[in-house]
């Protein structure tokens, strides 16, 4: 059995950005009924985009 480790919370910072209304609606439709917040979705999308860029280099 894997040993339990108490997770640490990564430090965060608040950024205010504007999204096109159609993008917000699509994200909200995508995460509806799932255990996911808008912020968590956007953070994961940015991580994936950054990884994709790194993989191309």
50/36 Cα distance (integer angstroms): 20
Looking up tokens 């994936």 gives: 48
Looking up tokens 């040993």 gives: 3
- pTM more than 0.75: yes
Q: Where are the alpha helices (DSSP H) in the chain?
A: 21-31, 38-56
- 25-56, pLDDT tens digit by residue? 999 999 999 999 999 999 999 999 999 999 98
Rg of the Cα atoms in the chain:
15
Give the per-residue pLDDT at 52. 93
How large is the average pLDDT for residues 13-28?
96
Domain ranges across the chain:
21-56
């Amino acid at each position: 059995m894997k040993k339990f480790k108490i997770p640490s919370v990564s430090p965060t910072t608040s950024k205010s950005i504007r999204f096109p209304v159609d993008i917000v609606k699509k994200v909200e439709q995508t995460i509806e009924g799932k255990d996911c917040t808008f912020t968590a979705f956007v953070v994961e999308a940015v991580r994936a985009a950054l990884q994709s860029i790194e993989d191309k280099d």
